[in-house]
Amino acid sequence: MKRKTSIMKNKKTQGLASLVAISPFAALVVGLLNPRDQASRNLVWVFVIFYGAVFYLPDWSGSDSVRYLAQLKWMYWSDFTLDDLMHSIYLRQDVYQPVITFLISRFTDQAWVLFGVFGILLGYVYSRNIWFLIDRVGNRQSAVIVFLIIAFAMDVSIGSGINGVRFWTACHVFVFGILYFSDGRNRKYLFVALLTPLIHFSFILPCALLLLFFAVKRFGTAIYVFFVASFLVSQLDLAVVKSIMQYLPFSFEDRAMAYVNEVDSGGRYGANEKAWFIALNGQLTALFILIVSTYMYWRGVHRIHSKAGGIFVFGMLIYGATNLVSYVPAASRFFSVGELLIIAALVLFLGTDRIRKKDMQLAGAMSSLLVINTALGARKVLEFTSVYLLFGNFFVAPFVEADVGLYELIKGLL
C-alpha cells in the first residue's frame, strides 16, 4: 500500500514538473485551484522566479528595476572589482542586491538572469507567507477569509517585489520571520527577521521595534493606546517628534531623503497613478487598519496567547511607530509591514473556533475598505508582465523581450 502511494506521489510530482517546464503560468493556476495541496506553494514560488525571468522592463521607465539592470550592465562591461563592491556596500549599507548583481555580472549582463535570481528569495518568502495563513485557517470556508488572503498577497505584490527588490524583499523576509517565529518560537526565524537590514538598511527600524516588543508585549492595552494616539500625532507637525528622530542610532531622515526618487518610482503603485486615487486608497487602508485593530482589541485578541495575539500587537507597534515618522517620505513604506501583520492577525483570528457569524459579517464589511488597495496590487503585477508570462516558459525566456506590457495591452483594448 505504501509503495502504491509512493508511486502515485512520484507520478504526480513528475506531472507537475512537466507542467512547470511547459507553462509556469498554467502550473500557477493549478496551484491556486488546489491550495491545500502541499505542492501549491512551490508552484507559486517557481512562478515568481519565472515572473522575474520574463520581467517586462520598458527602457523609458523610471522604475528601480531600470537602475538595477543599468548597474548590472555597468559592472559587466567595466572594470568593476570586488574592492569597488565593498566600497559600494559601505556607502549604501545594503548587501543583498549589490552582491547578487555583482556575482551575476561576472558571467552575464542579461536582465532575465538578474530578475529571475531576484525572484528566488522573494518567491520563497512570498509563497510561504501566503501559505502560512492558508495552512492555519484549516478547513474554514469563507469568502471573507479568501478575500483577505488575496488582499494580503496584493498588499506588496510580486510586481512591487521584483521592481523594488531591496525594500520589498526585505519587507516579505521580515514578515516571514515574524509569522513563523510566532508559530513555535523557533529562534532561527527571529534571526531571519533581524538580518533584513542586510537587504535594506532602513529595516534597522523594524528590527529595533522587534527587540523593543519583547520588553513591552505584555502591555497590549498600552500599545493599542499608543497606536490610536499615533494617528492623531501624525496629523500634527510636531517639532518635538522630529527632534526625537534625530537621536536614532542612524541618520534615518538623511538616508531616507536620498531614496525619495525610489519611493516615487519603485513604490507599490508607481508615480504614474493619479494622486487623488492614491491618496484615497491610503486613507481607506489606514481606516481599515484603525477599525480592524479597534475591533480585534475589543474582542480581546491582544490578550490571547497565540499566533494571532502576538502578531496583532506587534503589527500595531510597527504601524504606530510608522505614523510618528511618516513625515519622512521614505518612511511611509513601513506602513506595509504593519498592514501585512495586522491583515495576517485578522485572518488567523477568523480561523479560530471563537468566531461567531457576526464576526465574519463585520470582517466582510471592514474588508471592503481594501478593495482599491487589492486592485492596485494586481495592477502593479500587470505593469511588469509581458505576454510571455502567459505563453512562455524558462526555455524561451533567454530569447524573448516584450515590446509592450500586458497592462498597456489591456488598457489599449479597453
pLDDT band at 21 (very low <50, low <70, confident <90, very high): very high
Location of C-alpha cell 514560488? 45
Return the higher-pLDDT residue of 18 and 306: 18
Report yes or no on 11 lying in a domain: yes
DSSP secondary structure letters along 321-338: HHHHHTTSGGGGGGHHHH
Residue % of the chain over a pLDDT of 70: 86
- Taking a C-beta distance cutoff of 8 angstroms, is the pair 315, 334 a contact? no
Residue 408 forms part of a structural domain: no
**Residue holding cell 517620505?**
329
Decide if 226 is inside a domain: yes
Query: What confidence tens digit (pLDDT) does each residue in 151-199 have?
Result: 999 999 999 999 999 999 999 999 999 999 998 888 999 999 999 999 9
- pLDDT-wise least confident of 1-5, 112-116, 122-126, 234-238: 1-5
What are the residues whose beta carbons fall under 8 Å from the beta carbon of 364, sequence distance 6 or more?
143, 144, 147
Higher pLDDT, 42 or 16: 42
Least confident window among 68-72, 250-254, 390-394:
250-254
CA separation for the pair 162, 140 (Å, rounded): 32
Q: How far apart are the first and last CA of the chain?
A: 55
Tell me if 75 is assigned to some domain. yes
pLDDT of residue 250: 46
Give the per-residue pLDDT at 131.
97
| 139: its cell numbers | 478547513
- Residue percentage of the chain with pLDDT more than 90: 65
Q: Which cell is 222 given?
A: 498600552
Q: Mean pLDDT throughout 216-232? A: 94
Q: What digits encode the pLDDT tens for the residues 35-61?
A: 999 899 999 999 999 999 999 987 667
Taking all residues of the chain, what is their mean pLDDT, rounded to a whole number?
87
> Which pLDDT score is estimated for 188?
95
Domain residues for the domain of 327 are: 2-391
CB 361 within 8 A of CB 294: no
Comparing CA positions, the residue from 163, 205, 186, 170 lying closest to residue 48 is 163
What confidence score (pLDDT) does residue 270 get?
53
pLDDT of residue 332: 87
Tens-digit pLDDT profile for residues 249-302? 444 444 544 443 444 344 555 544 556 778 889 999 999 999 999 999 999 888
Collapse the DSSP code of 407 into the 3-class scheme (helix H, G, I; strand E, B; otherwise coil) and give the result.
Answer: helix
Count of beta carbons in the 10 Å neighbourhood of residue 380: 24
Cα separation of 365 and 334, whole Å? 25
- Gap between the Cα atoms of 230 and 213, Å rounded: 17
The per-residue pLDDT for 23 is: 94
Reported as half-sphere exposure (CB side, CA atoms, 13 A), residue 304 has a value of 20
Q: With beta carbons less than 8 A apart as the criterion, state whether 22 and 392 touch.
A: no
The answer to whether position 410 is within a domain reads no
Say what the pLDDT of residue 311 is. 96
Q: Where are the beta strands (DSSP E) in 42-169?
A: none
Q: Is residue 396 part of a domain?
A: no
> Cα angle at 9 between 4 and 13, to 5 degrees?
150
pLDDT exceeds cutoff 50 at 77: yes
The candidate with the shortest Cα–Cα distance to 230, out of 336, 295, 312, 325, is 325
Residue 1 pLDDT class (50, 70, 90 cuts)? low
Mean pLDDT on 389-405? 89
Q: What is the pLDDT of residue 184?
A: 83
| 377 in Cβ contact with 154 (< 8 Å) | yes
CB 292 within 8 A of CB 368: no
Domain count, the chain: 1
pTM (predicted TM-score): 0.91
Write down the number of H helices and E strands in the chain: 23, 0
Grid cell of 107 as nine digits: 558571467
94 domain-assigned: yes
Q: Is 282 exposed, middle or buried (0-12, 13-18, 19+ CB in 10 A)?
A: middle
The alpha carbon dihedral of 331, 333, 336, 339 has a sign of positive
Q: Tell me the C-alpha distance between 157 and 273, whole Å.
A: 16
pLDDT recorded at residue 274: 55
251 in any annotated domain: yes
Task: Tell me which of 260 and 76 has the higher pLDDT.
Answer: 76
